[in-house]
Amino acid sequence: MTAWVEKPVQHEQLRFDMMPERLFVCTPSKLAAFADCPRKYRHSYIDRPPPAKGPAWAHNSVGASVHTALRNWWDVAPERRHSEPGVMGRLLRATWVREGYRDEEQERAVFRRALGWLETYVGSLDPEFEPVAVERTVAAKTTVLALSGRTDRIDRRGDELVIVDYKTGRAGLDQDDARGSQALALYAFAAERTFRRACRRVELHHLPTGTVAAHEHTEESLRRQVTRAEAAARDIVAAERALAEGVPADEAFPTRPSRFCGWCDFRRSCPGGVGAPVHEAWAGVLEFGSA
C-alpha cells in the first residue's frame, strides 16, 4: 500500500502582491485636502500629534453657526417655522460660535448680517416644502474607494434627488463652481446609491446673495469625478507607503504653495507658508457688515 504523503502548502499563492488592496476610506474633504496641499493633508490626517494650529477663523465660525441653525430649523414643527416670530434668531443664538472675532462690536455686526441671510433664505422657501434629508451621511463603494460624506440637504424634484450645499463665502458662485465641484459630484454619486434613486443635479445656495449656482450632471460626468477621486486616493496611498518606507515626510508629502497659504491652519509650522500674507483671525468677515 502506498503511504499517504502530505503535500507542501503552496505559499506562493498567498504572496502579498496578489492580495486584494484595501479600499481607501475617505470623504470629499479628505481628498480635497490632499489636492490643495499634500503637506496639509499629512498634518491633518497622518501626523500624531499634529502641529499646533493657528487661531480659530471668524469666517469658519460664521459658516458653522449658519449651517447648524439651518439644520435645526428643519426640526421645528412646520406650522411654527414661518408663523412664530423670532424662530431663526433663537436658533442662531443657540448655535452661535464666538471664536475669531476682533471684538464684540464686530461679532454683533456679523451676527445681524448672518441672521438677515437666514431669514431671507427661509422666507423664500415654500412653507409646504420638506427635504428628503438634512445633514445626512451618504456612502458608496468602488473598487478603490469606501466613500462617505455628510450633505447639507437632499431635496426631491420629481423622481430625482438634488444635492443642496449651503455657502457663506464672500464671493458669489456660478455654474462653473457647481459643475467643477468634486465634492458635490461625489455626494450625488453616493446619494444615488444610498437612496437607490437618480441624483444628478447639484446646487450651491449662496446665502449672502441669495443666489443658486446649479449643474445637471450626466452619468458620464459623475463617473469622471469618481475616476479623479480614485486617482487621488492612489496618489495618497503611494505617498503613505513612501513615508512608511523611510522617504522623508517633506518629500512624500511636499508643500504646494498657493495664494491660500495665508489662510492655512498650519502656516506657522510650514516653511512654504513663511512668505504668505499674515491674516488676522477676523479678516475673513470684513465684508460681512463689520468695520
Per-residue pLDDT, 128: 87
Collect all residues with Cβ–Cβ distance below 8 Å to 128 and sequence separation of at least 6. Answer: 78
Domains of the chain in sequence order: 133-228 (3.90.320.10)
Whether 19 has a pLDDT exceeding 80, the answer reads: no
Residues 219-271: tens digit of each pLDDT:
999 999 999 999 999 999 999 999 999 999 999 999 999 988 999 999 888 88
* Average per-residue pLDDT for the chain: 91
Residues 107-162: tens digit of each pLDDT:
999 999 999 999 999 999 998 899 999 999 999 999 999 999 999 999 999 999 99
CA 183 to chain centre: 7
3-state secondary structure of 177: helix
Alpha-carbon distance 28 to 20, whole Å? 24
Percent of the chain with pLDDT over 70: 91
Q: Nine-digit cell at 160? A: 430625482
Instruction: Count H helices and E strands in the chain, helices first.
Output: 10, 6
Alpha-carbon distance 166 to 206, whole Å? 6
287 pLDDT band, cuts 50/70/90, is: low
Per-residue pLDDT, 172: 76
Q: Which helix (H) or strand (E) holds 156?
A: strand 145-157
Across residues 64-81, what is the average pLDDT?
95
Residues 182-215: tens digit of each pLDDT:
999 999 999 999 999 999 999 999 999 999 999 9
Please give the single-letter amino acid code of residue 268: R
167 pLDDT band, cuts 50/70/90, is: very high
Whether 282 has a pLDDT exceeding 50, the answer reads: yes
275 pLDDT band, cuts 50/70/90, is: confident
First to last CA, the chain: 99
Size of the chain in residues: 291
Per-residue pLDDT, 66: 98
Alpha-carbon distance 133 to 152, whole Å? 8
Q: Are 186 and 146 in contact (CB under 8 A)?
A: no
